[in-house]
Every structure is written in C-alpha cells, then in structure tokens.
C-alpha cells in the first residue's frame, strides 16, 4: 500500500479529483468539437454543439416533469437520435437510464416498467401501442409517456401523447447537468433477455461505463474522428457504449434503425463509416447480399463482432471483402465486450483455416479488465492447456454493480470473487480463451461432451448453409444426440442425408448430427439464435 509516511494535505479536492462518468465526454466534445458532426440519421445531421444543447433541454425537461435524481427513466426506441440523446440526458438529470428492448412482448415490458419503477417512458411511435398496452398491464403507477415520431423512417406520430420535440421545447438549453458526486452511482439499468425466468435488471455505474469507453478503442485502432455505424441496439448493453465513447474522439455516430445489407453498404460508401459492431449474423448478411446492394469502398472498415463465435467460413469471406474483424466477447453483466481476440503482430502471416480458427477465439482481457480465468467447479483456474474445460470467470471495472432489487442473484453471480459467465471454455497456453459452449448448450452424447459450437462451425462450411444451430435431442440410447436446425441460402438446396454425410466426413461419429431440420431460425433482436426456442420445438416433436 502506497500511503506515505505523511499524507497531510494530500487528500482529494475539487482541483484534483473528479468522478469518472461518460457524461464528461459529451461535455468536453461540446467544447472541443462544437462544430464537428456528431449524429447522422438519414438527412438529419447534428453537430456536437447542437447535440449538447438538445441533451441539456431533455435533461431539463425531465426535471421539469418531476424526475428526481436516482429515479428511472425508460426508453422504448430503436437506434434513432432520440435514443442517443437519452443516453446522456437521462443521467444528466441524475436519473438512471433504462433502455427496453423494442422486440419484447407486452407482459415483459410491463414487468420491466414495474420492476424498474420508470417515471417516464420515451417511446418510438412504431412501438407506442406496445408501450401503452404494457402500461395498461402494469401493477404500479404508469409512467409519463413521451412519443418520438420518426420522420426519417416515415413513422408518423399518433399524437395522443406528449411529443418529443414539444417536450424538449419545455427544457432549458443552458441547464446545468447533474453530474455524479460518486462515480459508483448508477448510470443505467439493462434487463437481461430472460430466456429462463423473469428478466434481471443489470445495473451499470458511471465509473464502469467511463472505463469501458477508454479501454475499447485500443485494439479497435480507433483514433480521432472515427465514423461509427451504430448497429448494436442501444437497448443491448447500451449499444456496446459506442454512443458514450464517440465524443472522446470527436466521432460521428451514424444511426441505423433497420439493419439491412443495403443500409450498411450505403453508410460505408456515403458516410465513410470506419467502425461498426455487429453479431456474426450481420456479417453473414453482408456476405450474402445481392450484387445490386453492394457498394465499392476504398477504405478499411474495422468490425467488432460479438454475440456468438464467428464461424470460420464467415470470417474468411468477410475479410476478403475488405473488412478487418476482431472478435470480442462479453455479456450484459459486463457492460458488453470485455475480452478481445487481439491479433498479434507475429501472426500476420497466418492465413486460411488457422487464421479463422484464431480469430474465432474469445481472446484476452480488454485493458479495463483483470486477466481472464477459466474456473473449475471449485473456483480454481484450470490449466492453460487448450483442452481442460471450465467456466469463464470475469473480474474488473467493467463488471456490473449487480442485479437491481435482487441481492441474492447478485451474491450468487459473484460467489467465487469473479462474475460467473455461464460460458464453458478452454484457455490456451497463450492465455486466449475459447468458448466451447454455453453451459446449457453442451450436448452430452453417450457420456461424451459435444460442443454445439464445433458442430455448427463444420456445417457453416457447406456452401448451401446460411445459418445453423445445433441443440441436444433426447435419445433413448445415447441420452442426447446433436440435432441441427439449418437455414439455407436463397435458391440453395441440400438434403438431410447429404448434410449429415458432409458433417460425418469432418467430425467424430458421436458429434455428427443425427437429424437436420430446415427452415428459418428464430433470432433475438441482436441476431442471436434462440436455442431455447429450438429445444422447445424438439419437445413439441419438430424432429
């Protein structure tokens, strides 16, 4: 401990200690990058000066509407400028930002509004009906509703609630932001998708979000004035914090309401997008885009991909198109990405399968995190042999404060002094993590563990396969066997037997799927395939 013999006069004071908060980034940008473009959405363009003024108005209007520090303000918005503004304005009035997934059902939205106790709900016109039905279904008091029409997307206002621009007009553009006095104060509340049981409310601190914004850019090779296409929904880990990070760099956020291949190619060509994050499914969408939607570009685009391990076939093809992909990994409980498959300088010559295999690893800790560990059942790190499996344990300043109003679940998640991720992985001798599977996705066939990820990686190499997911199917003889759900490319075709034979050539017998089901796969809003839904289909006799 570095306390000196005499620390008299060496304490914290106004001059030398300021609580960390991502809000400081926009305050600085309003000073340093006032005329620089901050937000782009269709034909709408806003400078940092304008952005700051609108955020100040919104914060002030929320105070005027009776929002007190520590209260919750929710949003039900796609990636539109109002959602970006909410990311600063809600904390800037001392409140806690609760972004709600626009694809949830009425009952779940109602549960979240009740559980978080939202005082205000800012909702897009397209999702206003969902909002109103959810409010109808609430047990507690209804929030004030602010409606955000979307002219750029041709979504008109319904006109029965307070209009967003009218609400802003009630605010003071010179409003003094209410900044945290303690960086541990709560910044945002993000409900997990809740595939089992009720969703849990993950709480982020100002400190954690600040440190994530500072640790993210390094391996992403981000420097001044990036152009970031906001593909990750801002209601998912606050959109990987890109909106909070961009002002540090005088960066431009290009809002993306509907993620289509055309929208992405257009943004790269027309706005000069340099960076974006997206699930592997987004990369697949670009790879398989029809020729007429593609646009030529003369600059490198750096991509963070997360949400699922990127299949080797996807990596190979997207890199050939001029995208540089870094696989990152994290969970809602870790503010988003906390490990990165950092590409080493002496790996430059590695090509082909080996390159894709390395790129598919989850990698090493970001700078704001402690070194990664893989823990056995006793909470002891497993050997770094690339073979022994255990559960990934995460520790560092980008781990949540805990679950809101659920101290038992928080204590359980943090029991071994790490956040237990629920992901089963090996650690390679070089320290890189590689996920074998989600704990619950492991298939146990004849006593052998089968990694669904491995089987999926093989199937993705078949030229007709667009997407696939492998889950356990109960089997009298083997206990479980792998069952593949496959979505084919447009106009491609392959039969069940042919695909099983293709897999058998590349996999051990016990790993080879015993059944294949063709059809569109169910996905979450962030492009994750919903395996629980596939398991339900198996229970219902789909295969």
Structure tokens at 76: 């039900």
CA 403 to chain centre: 18
Q: Is 280 in the site for a second copy (CB under 8 A)?
A: no
Told to check if 309 binds a second copy by CB under 8 A, we report no
Residue 94, interface with a second copy (CB under 8 A)? Answer: yes
Using rule CB under 8 A, residue 499 touches a second copy: no
Site for a second copy, residues 12 to 41, rule: CB under 8 A: 12-18, 20, 24-25, 27-28, 31-36
- The DSSP letter of residue 363 is B
Map 55-90 to HEC letters: HHHHHHHHHHCCCCCCCEEEEECCCCHHHHHHHHHH
Q: Residue 23 contacts by C-beta under 8 Å, 6 or more apart in sequence? A: 88, 91, 92, 177, 179, 180, 206
Q: What is the rounded CA–CA span in Å between residue 17 and residue 320?
A: 48
Q: Bridge-partner residues for 109, per DSSP?
A: none
Q: Pick one of 239, 310, 396, 513: the residue that binds a second copy (CB under 8 A).
A: 396
Among 142, 153, 158, 342, binds a second copy (CB under 8 A): 342
Interaction between residue 127 and a second copy (CB under 8 A)? no
Say whether residue 197 binds a second copy (CB under 8 A): no
Considering only CA atoms, which of 303, 146, 186 is closest in space to residue 240? 303
Q: Is 51 in the site for a second copy (CB under 8 A)?
A: no
Contact stretch for a second copy (CB under 8 A) within 104-112, 260-268, 406-414, 462-470:
406-414
Of the ranges 7-15, 44-52, 147-155, 349-357, which one interacts with a second copy (CB under 8 A)? Answer: 7-15
Nearer to a second copy, 335 or 485 (CB): 335
By rule CB under 8 A, what string of x and - marks binding of each residue 58-87 to a second copy? Answer: -----------xxxx---------------
401 near a second copy, rule: CB under 8 A: yes
DSSP summary character for residue 516: E
Angle at 419 (CA atoms; ends 191, 395), nearest 5 degrees: 115
Q: Which of 258, 345, 490, 491 binds a second copy (CB under 8 A)?
A: 345
Q: Which of 170, 288, 297, 406 is the binder for a second copy (CB under 8 A)?
A: 406
Q: By C-beta, is 185 or 437 nearer to a second copy?
A: 185
User: Is there a contact between 247 and 198 (Cβ–Cβ < 8 Å)?
Assistant: no
Residue 364 sits in the site that holds a second copy (CB under 8 A)? yes
Q: Which stretch binds a second copy (CB under 8 A): 138-146, 167-175, 361-369, 506-514?
A: 361-369
129 near a second copy, rule: CB under 8 A: no
Q: By the 8 A CB rule, do 30 and 46 touch?
A: no
Given 136, 353, 385, 430, the residue binding a second copy (CB under 8 A) = 430
Q: Which residues of 288-312 are buried (b: 16+ CB within 10 A; e: fewer)?
A: ebeeeeeeeeeeebbbbbbbbbbbb
Helix (H) / strand (E) element for 268: namely helix 261-271
When asked if residue 208 is in the footprint of a second copy (CB under 8 A), the reply is: yes
Nearest to 472 by CA among 438, 503, 428: 438
| Token pair listed for 404 | 């809101």
Binds a second copy (CB under 8 A): choice among 42, 217, 272, 479: 217
By CB under 8 A, the residues from 135 to 154 that bind a second copy are none
Of 73-81, 206-214, 442-450, 519-527, the window that binds a second copy (rule: CB under 8 A) is 206-214
How far apart are alpha carbons 159 and 156 in whole angstroms? 9
Minimum distance, C-beta of residue 203 to a second copy, in the bound complex (Å):
6
Is-contact 197 320, C-beta < 8 A?
A: no
Other Cβ atoms closer than 10 A to 246: 28
**Considering the rule CB under 8 A, would residue 402 count as an interface residue with a second copy?**
yes
Q: At closest approach, how far in Å is the CB of 431 from a second copy?
A: 5
């Amino acid at each position: 401990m570095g306390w000196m013999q005499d620390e008299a006069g060496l304490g914290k004071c106004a001059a030398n200690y300021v609580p960390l908060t991502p809000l400081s980034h926009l305050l600085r940008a309003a000073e340093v990058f006032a005329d620089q473009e901050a937000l782009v959405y269709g034909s709408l363009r806003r400078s940092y000066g304008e952005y700051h003024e609108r955020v100040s108005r919104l914060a002030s209007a929320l105070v005027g509407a009776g929002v007190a520090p520590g209260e919750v303000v929710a949003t039900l918005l796609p990636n539109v400028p109002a959602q970006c503004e909410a990311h600063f304005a809600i904390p800037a009035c001392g409140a806690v930002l609760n972004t709600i997934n626009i694809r949830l059902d009425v009952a779940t939205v109602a549960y979240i509004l009740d559980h978080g106790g939202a005082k205000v709900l800012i909702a897009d016109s397209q999702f206003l009906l969902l909002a109103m039905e959810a409010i109808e279904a609430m047990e507690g008091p209804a929030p004030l509703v602010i409606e955000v029409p979307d002219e750029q997307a041709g979504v008109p206002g319904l006109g029965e609630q307070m209009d967003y621009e009218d609400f802003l007009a009630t605010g003071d553009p010179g409003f003094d932001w209410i900044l945290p006095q303690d960086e541990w104060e709560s910044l945002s509340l993000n409900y997990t998708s809740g595939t089992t049981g009720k969703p849990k409310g993950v709480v982020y601190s100002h400190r954690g979000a600040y440190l994530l914004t500072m640790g993210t850019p390094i391996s992403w090779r981000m420097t001044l004035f990036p152009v970031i296409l906001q593909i990750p929904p801002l209601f998912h880990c606050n959109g990987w914090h890109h909106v909070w990070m961009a002002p540090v760099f005088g960066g431009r956020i290009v809002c993306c309401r509907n993620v289509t291949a055309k929208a992405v190619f257009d943004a790269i060509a027309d706005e000069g997008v340099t960076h974006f994050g997206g699930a592997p499914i987004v990369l697949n969408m670009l790879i398989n885009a029809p020729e007429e939607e593609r646009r030529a570009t003369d600059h490198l685009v750096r991509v963070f991909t997360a949400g699922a391990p990127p299949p080797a076939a996807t990596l190979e093809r997207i890199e050939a198109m001029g995208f540089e992909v870094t696989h990152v990994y994290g969970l809602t409980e870790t503010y988003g990405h906390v490990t990165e498959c950092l590409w080493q300088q002496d790996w430059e010559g590695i090509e082909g399968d080996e390159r894709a295999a390395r790129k598919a690893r989850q990698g090493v800790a970001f700078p704001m995190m402690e070194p990664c560990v893989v823990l056995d059942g006793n909470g002891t790190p497993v050997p770094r042999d690339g073979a022994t499996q255990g559960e990934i344990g995460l520790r560092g300043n980008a781990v949540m404060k805990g679950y809101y109003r659920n101290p038992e679940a928080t204590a359980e998640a943090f029991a071994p002094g790490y956040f237990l991720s629920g992901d089963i992985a090996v650690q390679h001798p070089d320290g890189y993590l590689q996920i074998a599977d989600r704990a619950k996705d492991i298939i146990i066939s004849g006593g052998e563990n089968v990694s669904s990820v491995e089987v999926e990686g093989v199937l993705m190499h078949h030229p007709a396969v667009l997407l696939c997911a492998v889950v356990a199917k109960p089997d009298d003889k083997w206990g479980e066997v792998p069952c593949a759900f496959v979505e084919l490319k447009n106009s491609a075709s392959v039969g069940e037997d042919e695909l099983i034979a293709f897999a058998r050539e590349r996999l051990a017998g016990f790993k080879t799927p015993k059944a294949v089901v063709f059809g569109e796969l169910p996905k979450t809003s962030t492009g994750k395939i919903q395996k629980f839904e596939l398991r339900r289909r198996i229970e219902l006799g789909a295969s």
